[in-house]
Amino acid sequence: MRADRLVAATLYLQRRGRVTAAELAEHLEVSLATARRDLEALGAAGIPVYPQPGRRGGWQLVGGARTDLSGLSEPEVRALFLALGGLDGGAPAAGTALAKLVRALPEPFRDVAEVASSARRRDPSGWERPADEPPALLARLEDAVLRRRACEIGYRRRGSAGVRHVEVEPWRLVEKAGVVYLLAGTARGPRTYRVDRVVALMPLDRTIERPDDGELDRIWEETSDVVRAARTGVTARVRADPAALRVLADLFGSAFTPTEVEGEAVVAAHTERGLAEQLAGWGGRVRVLDAPGVVAELRAIGAELLAAYDDATTA
């Protein structure tokens, strides 16, 4: 699994000081392209590894060769365990490997490594399309999760101009199909917040007791089930060309289900109007085969467009 490879790559770099991608590929028994991607992933995660071009070049950790995990600094520990903890979605083997690595660290770093290894998760199915820009307050929320620090956030709901302020206990960040969510405790129970809609953050002078990993996994699953049910109350079977179906699968995420019939799928949304609005832009390329209410909304949208553009004086 990739988490194991990244740990092995980090330790190999520490031991050798400087390696080529070909040497790492041979050591890990993977392809050259995979070794390069792993090295780039380490750099993207904040591990201070950089390439040196030229005949005698290669990849090297800033600070030179090291012999074991005790040579890592606290920022490097945080970056490494954040990266590894979110790769395999909490897979048991990855969790066991991370626990062993935590025990190999010096005592002062074990707590931050333990929190960082479970502070992020990835969920491949999507609820919404990702934003064009990375969330502005992601790094500060990540820091609040790692430090177990309660905070007050300003949150703007979808389609709302107002900002609601709420005190939260930040438990975990979950990346779901490119969108990052904060799973947090509140006075009203566990809640999920889309991070790119968090517009303000003020740390509070209070540390929190964080649920254990298994409990957080359970809370996230329950939250996902509630959100999924709210977003998929209306379904429709559609027929479309292969290219359109591929885009619809990406657009609807977990609300898209292929059927046994080639060229057909079932899509879902929270209302008939909402589903019709997502399908209307496809024109005749996507045809609704059932769901009379959705068809009626599509016809209403078509009539609204005709009325809006029926004025001959419109430029």
Closest CA relative to residue 60, chosen from 71, 50, 69: 50
Q: Report the distance separating Cα 54 and Cα 56, nearest Å.
A: 6
Which of 4-13, 125-134, 147-156 is most confident? 147-156
Q: Which long-range CB contacts under 8 A does 164-167 form with residues at least 24 apart?
A: 165/200, 166/191, 167/204
Beta strands in the chain (DSSP E): 18-19, 49-52, 58-61, 120-123, 149-155, 164-176, 179-186, 189-194, 198-207, 234-240, 256-258, 264-269, 286-288
- Can you give the pLDDT at residue 237? 94
In single-letter form, the type of residue at position 100 comes to: K
Categorize the per-residue pLDDT at 228 as very low, low, confident or very high, splitting at 50, 70 and 90: low
259-265 average pLDDT score: 92
pLDDT at 306 over 60: yes
Residue with the larger pLDDT of the pair 44 and 140? 140
Q: Closest Cα partner for 199 from 133, 135, 127, 132? A: 135
Q: Model confidence over 242-251: pLDDT tens digits?
A: 999 999 888 8
Q: Are 77 and 109 in contact (CB under 8 A)?
A: yes
167 CA to centre of own chain: 23
Q: Is the pLDDT of residue 146 over 90?
A: no
pLDDT for residue 1 is more than 50: no
In the predicted structure, residue 241 carries a pLDDT above the cut 50: yes
Q: 251-256 long-range CB contacts below 8 Å, 24 or more apart?
A: 251/129, 251/278, 252/278, 253/125, 253/126, 253/127, 253/128, 253/177, 254/125, 254/126, 254/127, 254/228, 255/228, 255/231
184-223 pLDDT tens trace: 999 988 998 989 899 999 999 999 988 888 888 888 888 7
pLDDT value at 273 more than 70: yes
Q: Render pLDDT for 278-289 as a digit per residue (tens, 0 to 9).
A: 899 898 899 999
Check pLDDT > 50 for residue 66. Answer: no
- In the chain, the amino acid numbered 138 is L
pLDDT band at 179 (very low <50, low <70, confident <90, very high): confident
Q: Is 112's pLDDT higher than 90?
A: no
Which residues are 193's β-sheet partners?
A: 182
- Mean of the per-residue pLDDT values for the chain? 78
Q: Does residue 8 surpass a pLDDT of 80?
A: no
67 falls in which pLDDT band (50, 70, 90)?
Answer: very low
The share of the chain scoring above pLDDT 70, in percent, equals 69
